[in-house]
């Protein structure tokens, strides 16, 4: 019998039930070594052991799901000299492999760019990368459009 393939969805944390969020938090503090047992972790975050065991195999942070994966994101950039260069330098600081860069012709003062990166060897997390890109002057919008 073949193993069943798992299907995944990317879901915003804001719409998830508290038990799932707290399970993810408990897994994270266990992984970081802040606690040593499941009992300590569930007590710290305020969920039952049964809730933890119900969700633990199905919930994990985005960065864990994206290790050694390809992530494609879209940027909307102001048409100002150096904005794309600043974004690419920031991406390079995360030690990722840039696979593709596709930039459209700037229209109405903005350019749309899609960038695909390979996350093997990445320092820090994709969330940190995306958040930092959003702080670069001239970057108007960032959106993850795919991952495999």
Helix (H) or strand (E) holding 101: strand 97-103
Q: What is the pLDDT of residue 1?
A: 47
147/51: higher pLDDT = 51
Contact between 19 and 51 under an 8 Å Cβ cutoff? The reply is yes
68/36: higher pLDDT = 36
Task: Give the sheet arrangement for strand 110-118, strand by strand.
Answer: 97-103, 110-118, 70-78, 139-147
pTM of the model: 0.58
pLDDT digits (tens, 9 = 90+) for 52-104: 999 988 887 665 555 568 889 999 999 999 999 999 999 999 999 999 999 99
What residue spans define the domains of the chain? 13-60, 70-147
Could you please state the CATH topology (level 3) that the domain comprising 70-147 is classified under: Alpha-Beta Plaits (3.30.70)
Q: How far is CA 11 from the centre of its chain?
A: 11
Rama region for 108: left / alpha / beta (φ>0; ψ in -120 to 50; rest): left
Q: How far is CA 58 from the centre of its chain?
A: 16
pLDDT class of 142 with cuts at 50, 70, 90: very high
Can you name the residues that pair with 103 across neighbouring β-strands?
113
132/7: higher pLDDT = 132
């Amino acid at each position: 019998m073949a193993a069943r393939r798992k299907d995944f969805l990317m879901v915003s944390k804001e719409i998830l039930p508290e038990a799932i969020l707290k399970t993810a938090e408990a897994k994270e503090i266990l992984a970081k070594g802040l606690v040593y047992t499941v009992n300590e972790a569930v007590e710290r975050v305020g969920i039952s052991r049964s809730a933890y065991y119900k969700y633990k195999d199905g919930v994990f942070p985005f960065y864990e799901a994206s290790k050694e994966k390809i992530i494609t994101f879209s940027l909307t950039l102001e048409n100002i000299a150096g904005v794309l260069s600043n974004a690419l330098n920031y991406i390079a600081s995360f030690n990722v492999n840039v696979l593709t860069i596709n930039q459209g012709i700037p229209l109405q003062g903005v350019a749309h760019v899609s960038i695909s990166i390979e996350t093997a060897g990445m320092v820090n997390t994709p969330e940190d990368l995306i958040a930092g890109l959003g702080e670069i002057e001239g970057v108007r919008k960032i959106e993850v459009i795919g991952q495999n």
